[in-house]
Structure 1
Amino acid sequence: LKNSHIKKLEREYPGKKKWYEICLTDIIGKIEMTKDGFPKQLPLEEQGKFILGYYHQMQKKYEKKEDK
């Protein structure tokens, strides 16, 4: 469903498409692939790591950027 969400994002917020594409590429690149590809389910500990990472990333989006 990623492509349909990106199309909607592009219509509503044209300047944000590239940023989200970069984020997605970065995230996908960090996922360790198993011999069978992406796991269909994550063990409980990995589910916790995923949700913590998700909320850390969401928080980072809303932090005020420092002037350099």
Structure 2
Amino acid sequence: MTDRFYEFRVDGSLPAQAREAFCDMEVREIRPGAVLRGAVIDDAHLHGILEQLRLLGLTVVSAHPLPAAPES
């Protein structure tokens, strides 16, 4: 099974200490929130990422698969 790549947009900034939870993802701060992009192994991993964002108090604005791996 190959990884799927996702983009998550959240309302609010990702605290510096919380970035460790997403160390394998690209994180960009944009106004008024942040964008995270990276590989998602399976549905359980996807739900885990969404739960981490919820636990950080961030509102997920969108979460969608990308057609290919994001460019670095």
Q: Between Structure 1 and Structure 2, which shows a larger proportion of helix residues?
A: 1
Larger RCO (CA within 8 A; separation ≥ 6): 2
